[in-house]
């Protein structure tokens, strides 16, 4: 009676000579002269039976910045699983709750730097295991994860890589100078992540990925070229990018909150009538435009086509989470399609205007939006609204009516030459009196005694008085100077400040200005 032929892992000598080991309490990595490798992962959640529903992933990082990932994604019994990225492999779960992975060929080349291990457990379990193990010589040491908690973080900019086939790569830059680069594989639904810190210059964004995700000396740059950011190379091969990869800025088009307001305009008889739209009075138009922008978030690279000059463009000026965005809806069908129209984001930086092209998913968007505009315009045919004037003023001059420039002059960059300290990236909102009548702040008496200003005007702001006393003089602007509130004085407080929701509330002379500038991220220079 013939016996079953033995498999390669049964034939191999796993305890013989020619083995190099790195050993730790939870992870052991062994590799052999003939190229084999063995990984023993002691996950305290595993048992011989419950472990059958788990999925595992190991990423091997080298000193040179190379990385290789092997992962099991099936629900088969552990002994029958296929491992992606591993070639020939065999796995089993031992009685002592150890996952053993046997590899016929080790997946990494060079000196091993560390291993990221993930155990993703099946239905009925609520805890996953994820850890980083640093390898130094023959010792494996578990390190505390350096990955920031992005779950509550507020993104500053977002970029999407184009022309990647079925894979999509998102780059998100956050206000605290951290970034998250996410690579999603559409076929498997799995996601790989790179995280670290970033710094923005005039011509490039430099990213420093964390050593736990990309090796000890990872960094790369994105060059600014028009509306695109192009990978410059210079980073380790472990990054899911190659030189020449292009990214397209998508700003706040993903996870888009409803708009509080917008300015919609078009050219009519040589003029540009502009209408201020608020959620209270124009929810249908705002929601229709938001729906179109959400469609545009599913980016495809649009093809050029001739523009129908008989129909006007519709321009929308918005402020979303403190960022000014101008979107233009063009009445031209994208070449080769029957139902896709162009949506254009227009931005300017240091006097240079750039255009980023998207396309909508519904061909009737333009005509629906144009009809809604015409209906609103007929009710109030303003050529240049107070809201449009306010936006122009915000981009060209200070909004505040106060002026202490003789005592606190500005330098050539528009920053006070002398100040006590500065509060960076403070969340600022806007408020006004809708009646147009004079109103007094909670700190009017103190403010009047210190500065002579007693009623609320553009330049008086609400603060937490225990942190910024009433009567304190300030200078307020966005870090890049795209929005300048100007000289200000602490004169009021409010619920949002007391509850810690916002950092400062800026008073505006008109309600339209306060809504248009609903949220800003500003630097506050404390002058005295």
pLDDT of residue 106: 93
Q: Are 135 and 113 in contact (CB under 8 A)?
A: yes
* DSSP code string of 182-225: EEEETTT--EEEEEEEEEE-SSEEEEEE-HHHH-TT--EEEEEE
Residue 315 has pLDDT above 90, yes or no: no
Structure tokens at 525: 């220079």
CB 135 within 8 A of CB 142: no
pLDDT for 98 beyond 80 = yes
Give the C-alpha separation, 285 to 320, whole Å.
Answer: 16
Query: Which residue spans of the chain are classified as CATH 2.40.40?
Result: 396-526
CA 471 to chain centre: 37
Q: Stretch 213-219: mean pLDDT, rounded?
A: 84
Class of the CATH-defined domain 8-143: mainly beta
Q: What is the DSSP letter of 381?
A: -
Average pLDDT of 414-426?
A: 88
For residue 178, pLDDT beyond 80: yes
- Per CATH, the architecture of 396-526 is what? Beta Barrel (2.40)
Q: What is the pLDDT of residues 355-387, one digit of tens each?
A: 566 666 555 677 888 888 888 888 777 766 766
User: Where does CATH 2.40.128 sit in the chain?
Assistant: 155-249
446-455 pLDDT, tens digit per residue, is 898 888 888 8
Predicted TM-score (pTM) of the model is 0.55
Q: What does the alpha-carbon distance between residue 369 and residue 297 come to, in Å, rounded to a whole number?
A: 18
- As given in the structure block, the two tokens for residue 58 are 């190991």
Mean pLDDT over 326-348 rounds to 67
- 424 versus 39: the higher-pLDDT residue is 39
Instruction: Work out the average pLDDT over 46-58.
Output: 63
| Residue 352 pLDDT grade (very low, low, confident, very high; cuts 50, 70, 90) | very low
What is residue 351's predicted lDDT score, i.e. its pLDDT? 42
What is residue 125's predicted lDDT score, i.e. its pLDDT?
Answer: 42
SS3 state at 450: helix
Q: Where do the CATH 2.60.40 domains begin and end in the chain?
A: 8-143
CATH number of 155-249: 2.40.128
Span 505-512, average pLDDT? 85
At 44, the pLDDT band (50, 70, 90 cuts) reads: low
- Per-residue pLDDT, averaged over 287-306, amounts to 65
Q: Is the pLDDT of residue 524 over 90?
A: yes
For residues 452 and 436, give the distance between their C-alpha atoms in angstroms, rounded to a whole number: 21
Instruction: Report pLDDT for 506.
Output: 93
Write out the H or E segment, with its range, that includes residue 316.
strand 314-320
The per-residue pLDDT for range 245-272, each reduced to its tens digit, is 777 666 555 556 677 788 888 877 767 7
What percent of the chain shows pLDDT beyond 70?
74
């Amino acid at each position: 009676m013939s016996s079953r032929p033995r498999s390669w892992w049964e034939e191999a000598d796993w305890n013989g000579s020619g083995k190099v080991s790195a050993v730790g309490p939870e992870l052991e990595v062994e590799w052999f002269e003939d190229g084999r490798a063995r990984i023993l992962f002691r996950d305290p959640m595993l048992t011989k039976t419950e472990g059958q529903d788990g999925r595992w992933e190991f990423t091997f990082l080298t000193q040179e910045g190379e990385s290789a990932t092997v992962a099991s994604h099936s629900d088969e019994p552990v002994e029958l699983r296929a491992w992606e990225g591993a070639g020939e492999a065999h796995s089993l779960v031992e009685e002592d709750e150890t996952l053993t992975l046997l590899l016929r060929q080790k997946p990494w080349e060079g000196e091993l730097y560390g291993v990221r291990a993930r155990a993703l457990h099946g239905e009925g379990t609520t805890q996953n295991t994820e850890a980083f193990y640093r390898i130094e010589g023959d010792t494996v040491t578990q390190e505390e994860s350096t990955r920031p908690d992005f779950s509550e973080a507020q993104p500053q900019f977002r970029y999407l890589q184009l022309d990647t086939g079925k894979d999509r790569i998102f780059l998100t830059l956050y206000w605290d100078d951290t970034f998250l680069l996410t690579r999603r594989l559409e076929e498997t639904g799995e996601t790989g992540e790179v995280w670290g810190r970033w710094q923005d210059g005039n011509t490039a964004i430099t990213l420093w990925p964390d050593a736990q995700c990309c090796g000890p000396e990872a960094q790369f740059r994105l060059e600014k070229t028009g509306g695109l950011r192009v990978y410059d190379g210079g980073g380790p091969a472990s990054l899911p990018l190659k030189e020449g990869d292009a990214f397209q800025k998508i700003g706040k088009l993903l996870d888009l909150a409803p708009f509080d307001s917008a300015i919609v305009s078009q050219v009519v008889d040589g003029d540009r009538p502009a209408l201020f739209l608020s959620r209270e009075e124009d929810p249908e138009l705002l929601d229709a435009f938001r729906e179109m922008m959400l469609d545009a978030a599913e980016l495809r690279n649009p093809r050029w086509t001739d523009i129908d000059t008989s129909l006007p463009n519709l321009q929308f000026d918005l402020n979303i989470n403190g960022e000014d965005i101008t979107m233009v809806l063009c009445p031209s069908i994208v070449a080769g399609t029957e139902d896709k129209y162009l949506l254009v984001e227009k931005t300017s930086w240091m006097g240079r205007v750039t255009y980023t092209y998207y396309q909508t998913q519904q061909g009737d968007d333009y005509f629906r939006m144009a009809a809604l505009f015409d209906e609103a315009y007929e009710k109030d045919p303003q050529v240049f609204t107070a809201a449009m004037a306010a936006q122009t003023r915000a981009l060209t001059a200070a909004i505040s009516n106060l002026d202490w420039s003789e005592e606190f002059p500005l330098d050539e960059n528009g920053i006070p030459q002398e100040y006590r300290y500065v509060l960076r990236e403070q969340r600022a909102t806007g408020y006004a009196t809708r009646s147009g009548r004079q109103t007094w702040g909670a700190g009017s008496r103190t403010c009047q005694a210190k500065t002579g200003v007693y009623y609320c005007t553009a330049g008086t702001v609400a603060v937490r008085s225990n942190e910024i006393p009433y009567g304190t003089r300030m200078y307020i602007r966005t870090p890049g100077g795209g929005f300048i509130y100007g000289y200000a004085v602490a004169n009021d407080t409010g619920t949002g400040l007391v509850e810690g929701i916002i950092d400062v509330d800026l008073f505006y002379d008109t309600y339209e200005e306060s809504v248009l500038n609903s949220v800003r991220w500003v630097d506050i220079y404390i002058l005295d």
